[in-house]
Structure 1
Amino acid sequence: MEKLVSSWFNNKTLPQSYIFPPETRPGNHVIPRCNTIPVVDLSKALAHERTAVVQQILEASQEFGFFQVINHGVSENLVNDTMNVFKEFFELPSEDKAGIYSEDLKRPCRLYTSSPNYNREKVHLWRDSLRLPCHPLKECIKIWPQKPTRYKEIVAAYSIEAKKLGLRILELLSEGFGLGSGFFGDKLSESAVLLLNHYPPCPDPSLTLGVSKHCDPNLLTILLQGDVYGLQVLKDGEWIGVEPLHNAFVVNIGHQLEIISNNKLKSAEHRAVTNLKVARTTAAFFINPSDDCIIEPAKSLIGTDESPVYRAFEFKEFLLNYINMEGNFEKSVEPFKLHG
């Protein structure tokens, strides 16, 4: 528990173990907050503009690997209650969080700091994280935190809605590619994990990171980033900031969607920067294949003049390599590429 940033950060200078090398730290230069990150109005997909929405999602997933969704069907009250209860959790006294803190990587629900590789890291991340498995929900909820008292009720309702939203977006992507209804159902989207990240105010945001550059290893991520800026996406070699929008979700394409699309979709590298004055709390809902799900490029997406870029593999094989490679983009996918 004493390793948690939130337990010791007050009135401290930035420890050396949190200072990133010059080439990877954010520095003092201003990153533009990009208004060109596509914003998709999902309510239009229910009407005569469905085809246009599908095309907008496809284009955003190909060019950016990121987009935001509004009018998504998740009630604003639930979104607000969820974010409030997440913040309440991280503000709990240490004794109320001690029972869920763990450095055991095999423990499915746990509070930890920096990353699962804390003891192997050269530099630590300025964040505390709570990992919550969400499938099957009736079983997972039993091991969730007991406090705050509303926690289980609100987060259970939220996880159901986040999964519905993710499946809806996957269905629109499937439609756009002509893969047929339900292509991303069953094992491809069976598992779900909620990762809460809490970034306390940082004494020098120019020297450290909340999350270092990476791509998500899963299928699709639904991110509730709240109203505090911190998300940056790498596009064409330049970092751009993703402006928080009221009652919106950020959607990003995971490695598995890139592979299934045979590189037609883009899993974009992204990172989180810290803030000097206020804390930032976010919730990433990861939709994952089941461990034994076979991942490979969809045959109908491989043109007559091209070959599959990747071999078939089980998702758990990819995930193990991703963890061992500490999320490195090229090293994570290299063993699964077909060459020649």
Structure 2
Amino acid sequence: MELLSNRPAHASVPDKYVFPPEKRAALLDDAPGSDVALPVVDLQRAALSDPGRRRLVAEEIVKAGKEFGFFQVVNHGVSEDVVRGFREASAEFFAMPAEEKLPYCSDDQSKPFRVASSTSYDRNQTRYWRDYLKLRCHPVSDELVGHWPAKPESFRSSLAEFSAQVHELAQTLLLLIAEGLGLDGGFFAGDLSGGDTQMNVNYYPPCPDPSVTLGLLPHCDRHLLTVLSQGDVAGLQARYRGRWILVRPVPGAFIINFGHQMEIVTNGVLASVEHRALTNSAVARMSVATLIMPKMDCLIGPAPEMVSEENPAKFREFVFREFMAAYDTAAASREDVLEYFRIEDH
């Protein structure tokens, strides 16, 4: 498998990474809508322990979700040292010699840890300027840790610590989202968020000509909730009112966005929004996405509380395993995958 990170530098963009003009993104500095900023929500513990202030935070999250499908959180309880530790260990992994990464290279999506390039949705056409680690990260067990790489030395311990703290943050957010929607506080607990937590560590090396490449295709996430560490290098864009906006880094923040399952269980109130990744020529960019998943046999459909005469059910019930298969068939296309589950007349 050819990894972009196996080459020290790229003097030019190989033809297989060059997109046709109609599929290219604007250069980062000229990105349309780059003046629009995502809401930033403060999760300071003191605020969450006060019922009145907690209600305001929950309302703020739902308001941001309804308008953008994305928001950023600060004072989230994940230690800065823990974030830095895992990001540094991941960067060291990508910097390792090719032969040390080779045993982990695989397109087998069932593996608990693997490294690959581009995306499985390029369908053998133009490739995306991206290497990535895809792994299971929670719940942590000795067996799971044994699948993680032993090098660099800090990788396993830093991943376990990072995963535990981010998982706790995700549960706090799900509780606040439920409260903000007027649902029972435990609505998202259990099978709906109890699947194996997945993680994508995306690595985008400096690109000689960002104007002809993409780091990652426009897509919506298939799961329930994403908690993303973007780092201090911009590159993520989200759809907003028909155009792309740049998600500018906020020091110490996590970016939160909703997956398809959130859209379906809230009957369209909190939508999953398309996003993509751009490349740049100056520095490498790395993002760490933690994906909160339902259990494979979880029955999913609009919550009864979110359905009314004015807002009838937009989606049929299904088992999450069925959604995963449909997502792959639709090659991550937002409209195509939702069409499988949409009730007619909506």
Q: Does 1:127 align with 2:130?
A: yes
Counterpart among 259, 284, 300 of residue 305 in structure 2: 300
Alpha-carbon offset, residue 76 of structure 1 = 1.1
Q: Shift of residue 17 of structure 1?
A: 1.2
Aligned residue in 1 for 2:6: 7
Runs (4+) off by over 3 Å: 32-35
Match among 261, 265, 268 for residue 260 of structure 1: 265
What is the rounded CA distance, in whole Å, between the counterparts of 2:26 and 2:176 in structure 1? 39
SS of match in other structure, 1:206: helix
Give the Cα separation in 2 of the matches to 1:21 and 1:241.
22
Distance 1:297 1:7, change over 3 A: same
| Partner Cα separation in structure 1 for residue 121 and residue 225 of structure 2 | 23
CA distance in 1, matches of 2:10, 2:84: 30
- Give the match's secondary structure for 1:137: coil
Task: State the match for 1:204 in structure 2.
Answer: 209
Q: Is the 8 A contact 1:105 1:116 kept in 2?
A: no
Q: Deviations over 1:57-85 (max 9, x none)?
A: 00111110000000001111111111111
**Contact 1:213/1:271 (8 A) holds in 2:** yes
Question: In structure 2, what residue type is equivalent to 1:7?
Answer: N
Q: Give, in whole Å, the separation in 1 of the partners of 2:233 and 2:256.
A: 17
Contact 1:34 1:243 in 2 (8 A): no
Report the CA distance between 1:181 and its aligned residue.
Answer: 1.7
How far is 1:146 from its partner?
1.1
Equivalent in the alignment of 2:43? 42
Distance 2:23 2:266 in 1: 30
State the SS of the aligned residue for 1:271: strand
Instruction: Say if 2:102 is the partner of 1:94.
Output: no
Residue of structure 2 equivalent to 1:109: 113
User: Bigger CA drift: 300-309 or 208-217?
Assistant: 300-309
Determine helix, strand or coil for the equivalent of 2:138.
coil
- 1:34, distance to aligned residue in structure 2 (A): 4.1
Q: In the alignment, does 2:159 pair up with 1:159? A: no
Q: Is the 8 A contact 1:27 1:207 kept in 2?
A: no
Counterpart Cα distance in 1 of 2:150 and 2:120 = 23
Task: Point out where structure 2 has 5 or more consecutive residues left out of the alignment.
Answer: none
Work out whether residues 121 and 332 of structure 2, in 8 Å CA contact, stay in contact via their aligned partners in 1.
Answer: no
Alignment of 1:1-340 (within 5 A): 1=1, 3-8=2-7, 10-28=9-27, 30-31=30-31, 32-34=33-35, 36-43=37-44, 44-47=47-50, 48-117=52-121, 120-138=123-141, 139-191=143-195, 192-340=197-345
- Tell me, in whole angstroms, the C-alpha distance in 2 between the residues paired with 1:304 and 1:131: 42
TM-score, length-normalised on structure 2? 0.94
Q: Percent identity?
A: 41
Q: Distance in 1 between matches of 2:127 and 2:49?
A: 45
Partner secondary structure for residue 234 of structure 1: strand
Deviates more, 1:105-114 or 1:199-208: 105-114
For these two proteins, the number of residue pairs brought into alignment is: 338
Residue pair 2:138, 2:163 contacting (<8 A) in 1 also: no
SS at match of 1:337: coil
- Which ranges in structure 1 are unaligned for 5 or more consecutive residues? none
CA change 1:203–1:9 in 2 (3 A) is farther
Between 127-136 and 327-336, the greater mean CA deviation after superposition? 127-136
Of residues 306-315 and 108-117 in structure 1, the stretch that sits farther from structure 2 once superposed is 108-117
TM-score, scaled relative to structure 1:
0.96
What CA distance in whole angstroms lies between the structure 1 residues aligned with 2:94 and 2:204?
A: 10
**Alpha-carbon RMSD:** 1.4
Shift of residue 35, structure 1, vs aligned partner: 5.1
